[in-house]
Structure 1
Amino acid sequence: MALKGDLLIVGGGASGMLAALGARDTLRNLHIPDDAFTIILLERNARQGAKLRISGGGKCNVTHEGESGELLLKGFFDKAERRFLKHSFFSFTNSDLCSLLDRYGVKTAARPDGKVFPVSERAADVLKAFEAMLLDAGINMISSCRASALKRDSEQFTVDSSRGQFNSSALILAVGGVSYATTGTTGDGLAFARKFGHSVIDPSPALAPVVTKKVPPADLVGVSLRSVTLFVSVSHERVERRGDVLITHRGLTGPAVLSLSRQIAKFALQHRAAELYVDLFPAHTSTELQELFLQHARKNGTQMVRKFLQSAPIAPPSGSFAIFPYGTIPTALVPFIMRHAALEPDVRWSELKKDERKSLLDVLKRFPMGTVKSVPLDEGEVSAGGIALKEVNPKTMESRLVPGLYCCGELLDYAGEIGGFNLQAAFSTGWTAGRNAAERLAGGKHPNAGSSHLR
């Protein structure tokens, strides 16, 4: 016998949990008793929020500080994605999220770079708070329940699952994309969306590490390059990001790499040989850097270039060689700089010929990091691709093809930058989907539906 609910949500991650909370909050604001409207949340794992538990290295970068418009500009470079997310970001903001967590004992704080974490730096505390919210909201949570088939007739949606069959008047798909398959995001939602007639953009990696064709030298594994500019060059096309780069035994990772990985993956899918480089002095033009070299050589002619590089600042501000917060060029990198510039290990500034000085300059502004081999889809923090945005109403998250079907979170074709933007998008689109599904089922918007009991 099928279990009947008014609203059924498939997926208990960030967007699914917020969809359930948004729906219940709206219903309570419409003075509809909890026992008069059943919300069922299906989660394939034994516990909700599996991916949330490992986000931010277990510290959980829940969002980013700033006004909603700022978040969209900083976190989503694609204009179509910004337009799509705008209504949701303003409907459920980062302040709303932090206030909600605060009510359940989780204090949050922004770091200097704008990333917002729980003060405890424990993702487990965030998840525990959401579980308490769901319990207080009277959500019927069914775990270890994998949906296997979805369909809709004129009256209702039907979901077949490992825990039996479920029926509902409205359905929210919040099953995520394809990143971190071990957490349950194995692409089921994309198959469900296609079954309902939706166009699906093929998934591609985003916020993922990069594997190079030739593994980095053992001496460089573990070396971190602070605040450099990483850029990828393909034919006459160049894209770049500034941030930290960490050299691994397989290639590269770190904030700048994760941020640029979506574009790198596109080049790889097009079978275009992508070469990676870092600019160790991103605030200096080649001309400025050359002038600083000449000034230094005149004052320190007897100094070995190698010794200079070992104490030189990495990514200093324009016009300066002063040590900046990012420290110095890693000592382990210096022999490779000298080698790529074709300089003898003990050459002094006074011995440096003009073409050798230019060679050194070129290497510092364009240090080679290898040729891209792959960008692992399953290792990305999020995946790009998903349901085509044009087929979903951005103000409600309702499908434009199937009335009563709502889609939210990573299942949709957007991917933001590193820094809490993707989690905020999941929270905001989930809340929007839940709220509008509840309003639709309750027979329209109530005059008081704009205010929230949860905020």
Structure 2
Amino acid sequence: MKKIAVIGCGAAGMMAALAAANSGGSVTIFEKNEKPGKKIYITGKGRCNVTNACEVEDYFNYVKRNPRFLYSAVYDFDNRAVMDFFESNGCKLKVERGDRVFPVSDHSSDIIKTLYNAVVKAGVTVVFNANVLSVESSGGVISALTYSVDDDPITREEFDSIIVCTGGMSYPSTGSTGDGYRFAKDAGHSIKEPLPSLVPFEVKESWCKDLQGLSLKNVGLKLFLSDKGDTKAGNGTGENGGSKKAKKPKAVYDGFGEMLFTHFGISGPLILTASCHYEKDKLGKVFIDLKPALNEEQLDKRVLRDFEEGLNKHFKNVLGGLFPSKLIPVMIELSGIDPEKPVHEITKEERQAFVKLIKNLPMEITGTRGFNEAIITRGGVNVKEINPSTMESKLVKGLYFAGEVLDVDTETGGFNLQVAWSTGHLSGVSAAEE
């Protein structure tokens, strides 16, 4: 029976431990917190978006970095297997909009309880309040780890295999403080720079503060990236402000959904997904389409109709049917049209420019919020140094990595937790094999 250590009692860690124990291993989990699954508890706003019920072949379209690396892991333990596991262990699931899977109870604690009970039932030993200090290897083979529990003396314990499931750096209050990167570096691995992902944007425009708390549903968004200092960046209309021969810029992300204005910029599901495509060394601009169901010609007719119905009203008084009240002053200011101007005096050119503004509300990104507000970490252990068929290090035999510590990340919708389940399961099975 192989003696296996799992560092981290989160999604990847518990699944790895369970798979290893069910494959005949003697497994111990070392968890720095006082209880399991602290990060699972806050996922999906406390509801836990367990996975996504999309077709397995479509899953990889939502993986932003290194999707091919996940082929073996996902096909070995896919979303259906995850759903079957929870259902068969008494945690009923439901599928919501976008194929997002949640527990019927809407309580993430039920996911943690189900998983942890299965781990304990499989005979896994769990050591809480354990601070793992180092992972040791000798001659390219894993040998031991050192740890301390509370104020106890440092303990060194030998293991045949060690699985690192420490997570990334997002939500450090849950224990994700980058320990796994240190263990990987000590073993000779390279680390792709960890960055916040699925994270709100900070923007340059001060008017966003005036809209703080305003949520918009069913809007479109395009994200353009260009080199900093490039004045020919996309303007959201397919034009780049440069010469006629210049290539039209292409949006790196074009999505539809819900967003929220904040005191620092913009957030919400649509923004978080867009952040997967943002590059910090680029100039980023987003353009919000407030009326995605209408093209410009249709919207112009709609605006013209509203103008005709309020022909003798002031501009500021005919916009109630187009926007939430909080948004009206901002749209008037950005339009450049005098709010007191009678509607019948607004020129065709002014109206058409206003229509373009509605379809392309511009904002310049100055950065993202930090790890405290990021759902996941982008970057991590270089997957070129990991065997995708086993999750074992190519540098140190018996050392495995699973979950967010790896340089793999996805869009929102349950796809990231599926990374944890799949890589955790594969690493556990592989570590237990003789």
- Normalised TM-score (structure 2): 0.87
| Number of the residue aligned with 2:271 | 257
Equivalent-residue separation in structure 2 for 1:12 and 1:378 (angstroms): 20
Structure 2 letter corresponding to 1:252:
I
Q: 1:158 aligns with which of 135, 144, 157?
A: 144
- In structure 2, the partner of 1:248 is 262
Alignment of 1:361-380 (within 5 A): 361-380=355-374
Q: Select which of 332, 337, 345 maps to 2:331.
A: 337
Counterpart Cα distance in 2 of 1:63 and 1:91 = 15
Instruction: Describe the SS at the equivalent of 2:130.
Output: coil
Secondary structure at 1:424's aligned position in 2?
A: helix
Amino acid aligned to 1:25: N
**Residue 243 (structure 1) shift:** 1.8
Deviation (angstroms), 1:97: 1.4
State the 1:248 CA deviation: 1.1
Aligned to 1:72: 60
Structure 1 residue 396: Cα displacement = 1.2
Determine the C-alpha separation between the residues in 1 that align with 2:101 and 2:316: 40
1:339 CA drift (Å): 1.3
Percent of pairs identical after alignment?
32
Question: Using the alignment, how far apart are the partners of 2:177 and 2:349 within structure 1?
Answer: 54
State the alpha-carbon separation in 2 of the partners of residues 67 and 362 from structure 1.
37
For residues 390-442 of structure 1, the C-alpha deviation after alignment (integer angstroms, 9 at most, x for no partner) is 11121211112222111110011111101111011111110011011112x3x
Distance in 1 between residues matched to 2:290 and 2:316, nearest whole Å: 15
- 2:84 is the counterpart of 1:99: yes
Q: Which amino acid aligns with 2:144?
A: T
SS in 2 for 1:134: helix
C-alpha separation in 1, matches of 2:313 and 2:49: 45
Aligned to 1:290: 300
Aligned to 2:230: none
Residue by residue over 1:1-46, the C-alpha shift from the partner in whole angstroms, topping out at 9 and shown as x without a partner, is xxx971111111100100011112233xxxxxxxxx4111111111
> How many Å apart are 1:182 and its aligned residue?
0.8
Runs of 5+ consecutive residues of structure 2 not aligned to the other structure: 150-154, 227-232, 235-248
Q: Secondary structure at the match of 2:145?
A: strand
Distance 1:212 1:131, change over 3 A: same
Between the aligned partners of 1:60 and 1:373, the Cα distance in structure 2 is 27
Matches within 5 A, 1:90-129: 90-129=75-114
2: distance between equivalents of 1:376 and 1:25? 38
1:349, 1:298 → 2: CA distance?
Answer: 8
Match of 2:178 in 1: 187
Structure 1 pair 64–304 and aligned structure 2 pair: CA distance change class (3 A): farther
| Partner residue, 1:26 | 23
Structure 2: distance between partners of 1:165 and 1:369: 54
Shift of the alpha carbon at 1:305? 5.0
Summarize the Cα distance change of 1:101–1:201 in structure 2 as closer, same or farther, 3 Å threshold: same
Matched, 1:52 2:40: yes
Match of 1:211 in 2: 202
Q: Check whether the contact 1:88–1:432 (CA below 8 A) recurs between aligned residues.
A: yes
CA contact (8 A) 2:10 2:37 kept: yes
Give 2:395's aligned residue.
401
Give, in whole Å, the separation in 2 of the partners of 1:113 and 1:429: 23
Instruction: Report what 2:417 is aligned to.
Output: 423
Helix, strand or coil: the match of 1:39?
strand
Does the aligned pair in 2 maintain the 1:9–1:173 contact within 8 Å? yes
Q: Whole-Å Cα distance in 1 between the matches of residues 44 and 198 of structure 2?
A: 12
Structure 1 position 291, deviation (Å): 4.4
In the other structure, the counterpart of 2:49 is 61
Match of 2:239 in 1: none
1:132 and 2:120 correspond: no
Q: Which amino acid aligns with 1:125?
A: D
Cα RMSD between the aligned structures? 2.2
Q: Say if 2:142 and 2:396, in contact at 8 Å, map to a contact too.
A: no
Structure-2 change in CA distance of 1:146 and 1:341 (3 Å): same
**Structure with the largest fraction of helix:** 1
Name whichever of 288-297 and 197-206 sits farther off: 288-297
Give yes or no for contact 1:208–1:258 (8 Å, CA) kept in 2: yes
- In the alignment, structure 1 residue 224 sits paired with structure 2 residue 215: yes
Unpaired runs of at least 5, structure 1: 28-36, 313-328, 442-455
CA displacement 1:283-325 (0-9 Å, x = unmatched): 443344334444665676456654553223xxxxxxxxxxxxx
Kept in 2: contact 1:5–1:167 (CA 8 A): no
Q: Secondary structure at the match of 1:330?
A: coil
Tell me the equivalent position of 1:310: 320
The 3-state SS of whatever aligns with 1:244 is strand
Rounded to whole Å, the distance in 1 between the matches of 2:190 and 2:163 is 17
Query: Deviations 1:207-259 (Å, cap 9, x if unpaired)?
Result: 01122345545541100111212333333553333221101122211011111
AA aligned to 1:96 is A
1:127 and 1:239 map into 2 onto residues whose CA distance is 36
The answer to whether the 8 A contact 2:64-2:408 is kept is no
CA contact (8 A) 1:261 1:375 kept: no
Distance verdict in 2 for CA 1:119–1:348, change over 3 Å: farther
Aligned counterparts of 1:232 and 1:436: Cα–Cα separation in 2: 41
Q: Report how far residue 330 of structure 1 moved.
A: 1.8
**Aligned residue identity for 2:176:** T
Hey, what's the Cα distance between the residues in 1 that align with 2:274 and 2:118?
A: 36
Q: Which one-letter code corresponds to 1:116 in the other structure?
A: V
Name the SS of the counterpart of 2:356 in structure 1.
helix
**Contact persistence 1:216–1:248 (CA under 8 A):** no
